[in-house]
Structures are given as C-alpha cells and as structure tokens.
Amino acid sequence: MNNRPIGVFDSGLGGLTVLKELQKTLPNENFIYIGDTAHVPYGNKSKGSIYNFSKKIINYLNTHNIKLIVAACNTVSSTILSDIKRITPIPIIDVITPLGDFFSSQKIKKIGVIGTRNTIKSNFYNRLIKKYNSKSEIFSKACPMFVPIIESGLSNHKIARIMGEEYLEELINNNIDFLVLGCTHYPLLKPMLKQILPKNIAVVDSASVTAHYIQKHLLAKDSLSSNNAPGKIEIKITDNSTEFNKEAKLFFDNKLNDI
C-alpha cells in the first residue's frame, strides 16, 4: 500500500477530464493537479518549450512526495514522453498508450483522430492504431481552435459549433466508424460533437481508459492507497485564470477546494 499522492498535469482545463475519471475509479487516492494556464495551449508550441514547461511542473510535483505522475495532456504524451521520463525516477503514465487495449479489442475499418497540431503531426496515434489494426484507414485532423475555445469558457457557444462543423466535415465525408478525441480538452465538447456527428460514429476518449489503466498499474505495484476515507484533490494553476476557476468548479459540481 502507498498513501502518497498522484500528480496530474496538463496545459490547462483538459486534464480535469482525466482527473475526474481518476477520482471516480480511485476514490480513496489523493491527487495534486497542475494546470499550466500561463502557457496554454501546448498544441502550437515547440517541443523544446513543451519540454521546459513540463520539466518545471514535474520538478515541482517531485517536491510533494508523489508516487505517480499522469501526463494528462495528449500533446505532451505524443511529443516528449520519452524525454520527460528521463527527468524523474517517478513513473509517468501518458494518456495515449492506455488506448492500446481498446484498439486491440476492436476491428476498425475507418477511424478519425482529432487533436492539436503537435499531436497530429507526431503520428503517435497512427502508429498505435496500426500496431493493433494494421488494415485500418486513419484520417487525422488538427483542430487548433478547440483548446482556446474551451479555455475561454465558450464550449457551449455557437463559435464552438461553427468550428466543429468545419473540422469534422472531412472526417464525416470519409465515413469513419470511430472518432478519437486526441486531446484531453475535447471531452468538454462532447455534447456539441455528438450533435454534429452521425449516430453511427462512436466517440472515444482516453479519460476512463487511462483511469482503469492506472488502477491496474497501482494494483500490480501494490501501491493503492489504504485510506478508507475519500481522497483529497489539490488543484494549482500557473497563472490567474477566472475561466479556469469557474469551469473547474462547475465540472466538479462546486465540490473543489480553493484553486
């Protein structure tokens, strides 16, 4: 058993979708979440900048005696994962690799992947999907405006719908069977995306898959918390953000402590 907290980080709000699933799956664990609001979005930054931002966050988390780090950012996961694993002896789990179990259990003919420019450019998803479904056709689309829209609190605004229709048109026309949300921000747009997508297209995101993957990891390492009481969530951001505070508290039904 291991009662040390789990560190989770993202460029901003998106990783909260992973944090919420982690809390649901591992209710007795303590979490420290870092949202890098000073540098969001990561999707249009250089690899060097993303590495430097992540390094500072990881070094900070290391001062809090954590047992595990979750890189709850697809851009980090797809571009610098091997680099940041060398920063710390603490295990780091990303939010893309856990989807291997999902892809291995599905026979997928046509799959669409949406993400930030850096995630799509990395081809990380394409390689993972081809590893398990070599005959799948993959159609990728960078959606650079989605993260700024979400971080600005405009997920339910008509601008989100307009951009969604623009980004998804090509994928829909290619008759995809699955749409992978290749950014932890994007589940916040699910209601809008489901209005645009034909009903036969299944939407896949990594939040719950990652949470169960981490549960298995902790169980295998005998590192689950022995606490009987619900764990605590501590959320920190790197710059003041009224929208982050508002959206985060709404997302957790106003049950969060001060950010």
* CA max distance for the chain: 51
pLDDT value of position 74: 96
Q: What is the Cα–Cα distance from 232 to 253, expressed in whole angstroms?
A: 15
Measure Cα distances from 138 to 27, 28, 45, 199 in Å. 36, 39, 25, 19
pLDDT value of position 51: 98
In tens, the pLDDT along 178-201 reads 999 999 999 999 999 999 999 999
In tens, the pLDDT along 73-91 reads 999 999 999 999 999 999 9
Q: What is the pLDDT along the chain (259 residues), one digit of tens a residue?
A: 889 999 999 999 999 999 999 999 999 999 999 999 999 999 999 999 999 999 999 999 999 999 999 999 999 999 999 999 999 999 999 999 999 888 888 788 899 999 999 999 999 999 999 999 888 999 999 999 999 999 999 999 999 999 999 999 999 999 999 999 999 999 999 999 999 999 999 999 999 999 999 999 999 999 999 988 999 999 999 999 888 988 888 888 877 778 8
pLDDT value of position 186: 95
Q: What is the Cα–Cα distance from 176 to 230, expressed in whole angstroms?
A: 41
pLDDT value of position 24: 95
pLDDT value of position 140: 97
Q: pTM value?
A: 0.92
Q: What is the Cα–Cα distance from 178 to 163, expressed in whole angstroms?
A: 19
Helix axes 16-25, 242-251, angle to 10 degrees: 30
pLDDT value of position 259: 87
**Cβ neighbour number for residue 196 with a 10 Å cutoff:** 15
pLDDT value of position 257: 76
pLDDT value of position 187: 94
Q: What is the Cα–Cα distance from 108 to 111, expressed in whole angstroms?
A: 7
pLDDT value of position 94: 97
pLDDT value of position 84: 97
Q: Which residues are catalytic?
A: 73, 183
DSSP H or E stretch at residue 68: strand 68-71
pLDDT value of position 174: 96
By the 8 A CB rule, do 34 and 58 touch? no
